[in-house]
Structure 1
Amino acid sequence: MSLFSVNAILILNAEDGSRVFTKYYSPPHHSSSSPATPYPDQKSQKAFEKGLLEKTQKQTADIILYDNRIVLYKSESDVMI
């Protein structure tokens, strides 16, 4: 756990999982033991988003643990924040 705990902010279309808005963050000073960003390229970002959407469609909670990350989300009509 570090001060830089937010890895991404995502707004996805709840029906097909397409991106409405995404912003991935990386800490300004990273240690050599951990990667600079957990999702460095678009392929890994899309895989994370797809898996997250699949898991959250089955959940009723607003907080889940996914990919060793705490995920806060809210589904509103046709988007997932």
Structure 2
Amino acid sequence: MGSLSIWHWLIVLAVVVLIFGTKKLKNVGSDLGSAVKGFKDGMRDGASDAPAPPPQQVTASKANDSHTVDVEAKTKS
């Protein structure tokens, strides 16, 4: 009674196919595969990349640039 036989698994598979349909199951399988592949690529890329340097602060020479916008931050009261 502890383990299920092959017939039990075939019945479960048939019920799942009847509920979801083969096209939906195929899409779920391909989505899961691409997610796992993306996760592995991200882990591989993350391990080899060095941490990014912090962003540079605006200096006085850059503050005079015509594309620089000077704003004053205010707190909400």
TM-score (norm 1): 0.28
Give the structure with the higher percent strand: 1
Give the structure with the higher percent helix: 2
TM-score (norm 2): 0.30
Task: Return the structure number with greater relative CO, CA threshold 8 A, min gap 6.
Answer: 1
**Structure of greater Rg:** 2
